[in-house]
C-alpha cells in the first residue's frame, strides 16, 4: 500500500546563515512494505532532532568523511525516534521503537538498520531519545568522563552550556562535585542554567566585550576542564585561563559553521606552557558504552537528579523554523520536532 509522505527538502547549498526558505515542504508517496530484495526496515517517524552539526551538512565544500552531506532537492536527514511498521531485518520487528539516523519525513525506508538502537525503556518521555538518551547524551558522557577524567573540586567551564549537550555536561559535572560555569547567548538561558540546571555561575557571552576578563571573573583560580562547543574567540580566551595539565574536550565549533573562512586561534602556545591536553572526539566511536551510559543516567532522570529542557515543535511543517531557530541560537531547550506521537 502506498501512502502520501510529507518531507522537508533541502533546496540548495548554503553560504552564510541559513534561512527557513532554504528548506521546503514536499509531499511524495511511499510503500509501507519493505522491498523483498532489502533487509531494511520501514518506520513511522515520531520525533526528529534538531542539532548544530546539521549546518555542516548544508555546505557545498565537503571537508570530512564523517557525515553524509545533504543533496540539493532531497530530504534532509538527522537523528530521530521512530516506530517500525515493517521489517526484513532479524534484529527488528513490527512495533519496535528505535532511535538513530532517519529522514525528515513521515515514513522512511531505512536500508542500513544496523545503525538503529532499539528503545527498551519507555518509562521516560520518548522525546528524550532525540537528546539526553541518544546522541547528545552520549556525546556529553563520552566527552566529559572518557576524555576529561573529572575530579571532585575541579573547575569546569562549558561553552554553549544551554545546548542539548552542554546542559547535560553541566549536570554530570555537578554530580561529580565540580564547580561549574557556563556561557550562553541570552539572559533567559543564563538564568535557567543557574536556577534550573544547577550551574554555580553563568554569563551571557554577548554582553562580555572581553572574554578573557569574564573568565577571570567567573573562574578566578583557572579552568581545569573546558568542554568546548563553540571554538573561535571563546577557545582563544579559555587557553589563557586554563590550569596547568588542564583538559579540553573539543566537541563542536558552532561559532565557525556559518563562516566562509574559519577564524584562527592565537593563544596555542598556552598548550605548551601549561601542558594542556586538547582532544577532539566523535561520539560514534563511543556507542559501545551506551548500555553503561543508560545504567548511569536513567536512575538520575527517574529520581529527578538530572533534568532536561526541551522545546517541542508540533508537526513536520514546523521543522524548518525549528531547525533555523536552533542554528540562530534562539532556542530555549533541546529543539524537538513532533511528527506523530504514536
Average pLDDT, the chain: 96
Task: Give the model's confidence band at 61: pLDDT under 50 very low, under 70 low, under 90 confident, else very high.
Answer: confident
**What is d(CA 106, CA 337) in angstroms, rounded to the nearest whole number?**
11
**What is d(CA 161, CA 189) in angstroms, rounded to the nearest whole number?**
9
Q: Would you say 332 and 37 are in contact if contact means Cβ atoms under 8 Å apart?
A: no
Q: Kindly state the helix (H) or strand (E) to which residue 323 belongs, with its residue range.
A: helix 319-327
Alpha-helix runs per DSSP H in 79-227? 135-141, 148, 166-176, 187-195, 211-218
CA distances from 202 to 141, 160, 185, 245, 310 (A): 21, 11, 10, 24, 19
Closest Cα partner for 336 from 27, 96, 98, 78? 78
**What is d(CA 271, CA 268) in angstroms, rounded to the nearest whole number?**
5
Percent of the chain at pLDDT > 70 equals 100
- Grid coordinates in use for 180? 561549574
Angle at 311 between CA 173 and CA 77, to 5 degrees: 95
> Residue 63, exposed/middle/buried by CB under 10 A (0-12, 13-18, 19+)?
exposed
Task: Give the model's confidence band at 62: pLDDT under 50 very low, under 70 low, under 90 confident, else very high.
Answer: confident
- Grid coordinates in use for 187? 539572559
Question: What is residue 165's predicted lDDT score, i.e. its pLDDT?
Answer: 97
pLDDT in tens, 8-49: 999 999 988 999 999 999 999 999 999 999 999 999 999 999
> Residue 137, exposed/middle/buried by CB under 10 A (0-12, 13-18, 19+)?
buried
Secondary structure letter of residue 185 according to DSSP: S
Cell numbers 573540586: residue: 153
Angle at 341 between CA 57 and CA 1, to 5 degrees: 80
Question: What is residue 1's predicted lDDT score, i.e. its pLDDT?
Answer: 80
Question: What is residue 66's predicted lDDT score, i.e. its pLDDT?
Answer: 84
Closest Cα partner for 50 from 205, 163, 212? 163
Alpha-helix runs per DSSP H in 109-186? 135-141, 148, 166-176
244 C-beta neighbours (distance < 10 Å), count: 10
**What is d(CA 112, CA 312) in angstroms, rounded to the nearest whole number?**
28
319 phi and psi, to 5 degrees?
Answer: -60, -50
Mean pLDDT for the stretch of residues 293-321: 97
Closest Cα partner for 113 from 31, 37, 41, 38? 41
CA dihedral sign, ordered 332, 336, 339, 342: negative
- Grid coordinates in use for 146? 572518557
Mean pLDDT for the stretch of residues 269-288: 97
**What is d(CA 171, CA 314) in angstroms, rounded to the nearest whole number?**
28
pLDDT in tens, 229-254: 999 999 999 999 999 999 999 999 99
For residue 65, pLDDT beyond 90: no
**What is d(CA 136, CA 26) in angstroms, rounded to the nearest whole number?**
29
What's the whole-model pTM score? 0.95
pLDDT in tens, 123-172: 999 999 999 999 999 999 999 999 999 999 999 999 999 999 999 999 99
**What is d(CA 151, CA 132) in angstroms, rounded to the nearest whole number?**
23
Amino acid at each position: 500500500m502506498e501512502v502520501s509522505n510529507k518531507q522537508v527538502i533541502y533546496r540548495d547549498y548554503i553560504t552564510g546563515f541559513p534561512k527557513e526558505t532554504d528548506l521546503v515542504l514536499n509531499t511524495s508517496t511511499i510503500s509501507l512494505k519493505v522491498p523483498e530484495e532489502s533487509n531494511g526496515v520501514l518506520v513511522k517517524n515520531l520525533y526528529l532532532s534538531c542539532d548544530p552539526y546539521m549546518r555542516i551538512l548544508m555546505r557545498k565544500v565537503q571537508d570530512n568523511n564523517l557525515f553524509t552531506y545533504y543533496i540539493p532537492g532531497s530530504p534532509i536527514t538527522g537523528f530521530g525516534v521512530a516506530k517500525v511498521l515493517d521489517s526484513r531485518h532479524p534484529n527488528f520487528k513490527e512495533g519496535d521503537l528505535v532511535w538513530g539516523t532517519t529522514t525528515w519525513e513521515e515514513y522512511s525506508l531505512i536500508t542500513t538498520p544496523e545503525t538503529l538502537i532499539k528503545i527498551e525503556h519507555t518509562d521516560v518521555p520518548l522525546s528524550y531519545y532525540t537528546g539526553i538518551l541518544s546522541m547528545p547524551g552520549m556525546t556529553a558522557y563520552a566527552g566529559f568522563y572518557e576524555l576529561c577524567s573529572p575530579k571532585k573540586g575541579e573547575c569546569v567551564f562549558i561553552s554553549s552550556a544551554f545546548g542539548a549537550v552542554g546542559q547535560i555536561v553541566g549536570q554530570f559535572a555537578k554530580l561529580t562535585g565540580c564547580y561549574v560555569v557556563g556561557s550562553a547567548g541570552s539572559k533567559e538561558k543564563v538564568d535557567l542554567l543557574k536556577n534550573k540546571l544547577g550551574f554555580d555561575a553563568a554569563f551571557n557571552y554577548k554582553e562580555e566585550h572581553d572574554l578573557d576578563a569574564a573568565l577571570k571573573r567567573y573562574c578566578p583560580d583557572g579552568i581545569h576542564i573546558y568542554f568546548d562547543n563553540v571554538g573561535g574567540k571563546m577557545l582563544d580566551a579559555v587557553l589563557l585561563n586554563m590550569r596547568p595539565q588542564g583538559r579540553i574536550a573539543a566537541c563542536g565549533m558552532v561559532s565557525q559553521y556559518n563562516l566562509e573562512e574559519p577564524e584562527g586561534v592565537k593563544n596555542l602556545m598556552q598548550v605548551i606552557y601549561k601542558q594542556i591536553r586538547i582532544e577532539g572526539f566523535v561520539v560514534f566511536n563511543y556507542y559501545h558504552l551506551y548500555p553503561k551510559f543508560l545504567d548511569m543516567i536513567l536512575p538520575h532522570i527517574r529520581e529527578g537528579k538530572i533534568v532536561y529542557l526541551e522545546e517541542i515543535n508540533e508537526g513536520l511543517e514546523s521543522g524548518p523554523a525549528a531547525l533555523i531557530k536552533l542554528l540562530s541560537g534562539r532556542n530555549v531547550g533541546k529543539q524537538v520536532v513532533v511528527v506523530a506521537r504514536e
